[in-house]
Amino acid sequence: STTVGILGGGQLARMLALSGAPLGLRFLVMDTVADACAAQFVPLLQADYTDQHALAEFASKVDVVTFDFENVPAESGQWLASQRPVFPSPRALAVAQDRLAEKTLFNELGIATPRFSAVLSRADLERALCDIGTPCILKTRRLGYDGKGQFRLKSEADADAAWAALGGQAETVGLILEGFVAFQRELSVVAVRGRDGEFRAWPITQNWHHHGILSASLAPANCSEALSATALQHAKSVADALQYVGVFALELFERDGELLANEMAPRVHNSGHWTIEGAECSQFENHLRAVLGLPLGSTDARGLSCMLNWVGELPDARGALSIAGLHWHDYGKSPREGRKVGHATCVGDSMAALRRQLEEAGRRLGREAQVAPVLAALG
């Protein structure tokens, strides 16, 4: 049988393994901590990602390598690629790990982005502020997630505070200053590209964030044919340019009918969790199919879905399980502020059916504020 090696043992690895079980696949996850949530039912190799001995053991036990965590050091990915097929490739990963490299690639491909400028020093920040104007956001180029490593500047007077918060990282992970986009909506394209170059995308997803962390996703988003075609074309050009293999997400801001690319995630993505129950083939199964060179599954939606993220702590499971059409996911993690501990996906065969489920979920789970923007979007 085939064993898939996953670097990183979080909830993404856990859901990859769950979706791979019916395909007869086996898994081995490598993580730096012993209590990684995928390790509750997947064998774990606990080691540092730079531990050469551990990498060799990992490579010897798996047939193919993929990622739950994209910030594995590039040299480790490269070494593994000399031993086993690694998807996505270390080169694709290197671009997606770096906000400056990914935005530069987007622009090269004719994909608009927020204005951006690399910041290496305090003087650079001054220059970039003149160039980009305010409001703007200073971000670390690497290692940021869930809105971490970001500082929002309302005016130039915030420059000192921004530098105090992030300046120390200018020389380690690098910084980038981005214009703040007053978008109407956030959308994402979750797509998959096979080893043979076949490209498929799930319907566009609309996303809402709370304190920089994904809070809710609605799919298919209410988009014009033209907007949806442009978004999919952007995702395809990025995937082709990187000769990308596997699932990835392209995050977009919609402003006055125009799409600006924010970032890409070189892995299965939180805004694609709805595909587990809401699509013919989920992002997790299609990622495995892609990295193994198997035929890709259909990315068609089954009805209308809304994913609600549980951040910090889970709401009442019994209440949730009594809602027809709601699918419950508990990642088996201990509660902690800002931590993604689970999600639920409501799937309805009509807008009215989804609306009823979300109203009930909001009420029963005490999450009215979380479902409110989705209900407003449903009209």
- Integer Cα distance of 170 and 43 in angstroms: 38
Q: Which of 26, 101, 109, 180 binds ligand ATP (CB under 6 A)?
A: 180
Binding residues: 99, 139, 144-150, 178-181, 186, 209, 262-263
Q: Which of 186, 254, 285, 360 binds ligand ATP (CB under 6 A)?
A: 186
Select 103 or 287, whichever has its Cβ closest to ligand ATP: 103
Angle between helices 225-242 and 99-108 (to 10 degrees): 110
Instruction: Provide the minimum distance between the beta carbon of 19 and Mg ion in the complex, in angstroms, as a whole number.
Output: 22
Select 148 or 336, whichever has its Cβ closest to ligand ATP: 148
Which tokens in the block code for residue 339?
């931590």
Instruction: Provide the minimum distance between the beta carbon of 227 and Mg ion in the complex, in angstroms, as a whole number.
Output: 19
Q: Considering only residues 233-252, where is the footprint of ligand ATP by CB under 6 A?
A: 251
Q: Which residue type is seen at 42?
A: V
Q: Which residue type is seen at 363?
A: R
Does residue 212 interact with ligand ATP by CB under 6 A?
A: yes
Select 31 or 178, whichever has its Cβ closest to ligand ATP: 178
Q: How many residues does the chain have?
A: 379
Instruction: Provide the minimum distance between the beta carbon of 149 and ligand ATP in the complex, in angstroms, as a whole number.
Output: 7
SS3 115: coil
311 binds, among Mg ion, ligand ATP, none (CB under 5 to 8 A by kind): none
What ranges in the chain are assigned the alpha helix state H?
A: 11-20, 52-61, 74-81, 90-96, 99-108, 122-132, 159-166, 225-242, 275-278, 283-291, 317-321, 351-365, 368-378
363 to 26, 50, 149, 360: CA distances (angstroms) = 40, 47, 34, 5
41 binds, among Mg ion, ligand ATP, none (CB under 5 to 8 A by kind): none
Which tokens in the block code for residue 237?
């050009």
Q: Considering only residues 104-163, where is the footprint of ligand ATP by CB under 6 A?
A: 114, 137, 144-148
SS3 271: helix
In terms of Cα–Cα distance, which of 296, 292, 365 is closest to 24? Answer: 292
Which tokens in the block code for residue 359?
């109203």
Does residue 210 interact with ligand ATP by CB under 6 A?
A: no
282 binds, among Mg ion, ligand ATP, none (CB under 5 to 8 A by kind): none
252 binds, among Mg ion, ligand ATP, none (CB under 5 to 8 A by kind): none
Where does this chain bind Mg ion (CB under 5 A)? 251, 263
Q: Which residue type is seen at 87?
A: F
Does residue 178 interact with ligand ATP by CB under 6 A?
A: yes
Instruction: Provide the minimum distance between the beta carbon of 265 and Mg ion in the complex, in angstroms, as a whole number.
Output: 6
328 binds, among Mg ion, ligand ATP, none (CB under 5 to 8 A by kind): none
- Integer Cα distance of 193 and 291 in angstroms: 9
Q: Considering only residues 249-268, where is the footprint of ligand ATP by CB under 6 A?
A: 251, 262-263, 265
Does residue 181 interact with ligand ATP by CB under 6 A?
A: yes
Binding residues for ATP: 99, 139, 144-150, 178-181, 186, 209, 262-263
Strand 304-311 relative to strand 213-219, pairing: antiparallel
79 to 33, 69, 170, 379: CA distances (angstroms) = 22, 17, 27, 51
Select 126 or 263, whichever has its Cβ closest to Mg ion: 263
Select 329 or 355, whichever has its Cβ closest to ligand ATP: 329
Within 10 angstroms of residue 298's Cβ, the number of other Cβ atoms is 12
- Integer Cα distance of 376 and 351 in angstroms: 12
180 binds, among ligand ATP, Mg ion, none (CB under 5 to 8 A by kind): ligand ATP
Instruction: Provide the minimum distance between the beta carbon of 83 and ligand ATP in the complex, in angstroms, as a whole number.
Output: 29
Give residues in contact with ligand ATP (CB under 6 A).
114, 137, 144-148, 178, 180-181, 186, 209, 212, 251, 262-263, 265
